[in-house]
Amino acid sequence: MKTRSRLAFWGVATLTPLAMLTGASAWAQTAKPGDPAAAQKKVAMCIGCHGIPGYQASFPEVHKVPMISGQNAKYIAAALLAYQKGDRKHPTMKGIAASLSEQDIADLAAYYEASGKNLPATPAKGGAATPEVTALLNKGACASCHGDGLNQPRDASYPKLAGQHADYLYVALKSYQTDKNAKIGRSNAIMAGQVKQFTLAELKLLANHIGGLGGDLKTVPQAKFK
């Protein structure tokens, strides 16, 4: 019995870094399902930015940090892995993601998906889409992936967009157009193909419209010390 459990321990200890190097599929196999309760302490690392409504970041330009409460766990985990692997280059989030284990990522993703579920949905702030915006949404077939109201993605690894901060959406959209920059940019084949058909002015129109939609995304304020 004793030898066995010690063996199992070493098995886990040596497998973990390997699994991290080999990426998402290995990650999915080795991490236990995310446990929101286990993330209670880990979120201390996040709430200074993601737990303060309207908190501003200044890189690469001033914008509000994204709302992640109510986002799909699978997408949150995919985003954190992308920062960890360098597919998303934002320096602060890269540094933070690098410090997380695969289990931390699973737990934090489950935590933020559940966070705010008992609170009312974020109401719409904007009006109906103008004909110009409707044409852009149709051109990109945004709803075919991001779902009805851009709030019900077809796949849980795709993000909910509705009601996300417009200034963040604009920065995110531009980042898919950026490559060959050490500190800015996201490499994602699907969204790179999408954004390249739009001008910056069109991306801004899209961001402003989507930011005005109502949806599940929220910032849930938390007491810093519990």
Positions in the binding site for ligand HEC (CB under 6 A): 45-46, 48-50, 57, 65-66, 68, 76, 78-80, 82, 88, 90, 92-93, 96, 108, 140-142, 144-146, 158-159, 161, 164, 169, 171-173, 175, 186, 188, 190-191, 194, 206
Nearest-angstrom CA–CA distance, 223 and 146 = 32
Closer to ligand HEC at the Cβ: 1 or 61?
61
Closer to ligand HEC at the Cβ: 30 or 204?
204
> Measured from the CB of residue 27, what is the shortest distance to ligand HEC in angstroms?
14
Instruction: Supply 65's token pair.
Output: 């940090």
Nearest-angstrom CA–CA distance, 132 and 199 = 13
Closer to ligand HEC at the Cβ: 11 or 132?
132
C-alpha distance across the termini of the chain, in Å: 39
Q: Which residue is nearest to ligand HEC (CB)?
A: 140
Please name the residue that has the structure tokens 């109906």: 128
Instruction: Supply 121's token pair.
Output: 């949905």
| Contact status, residue 45 vs residue 224, Cβ threshold 8 Å | no
Nearest-angstrom CA–CA distance, 96 and 100 = 7
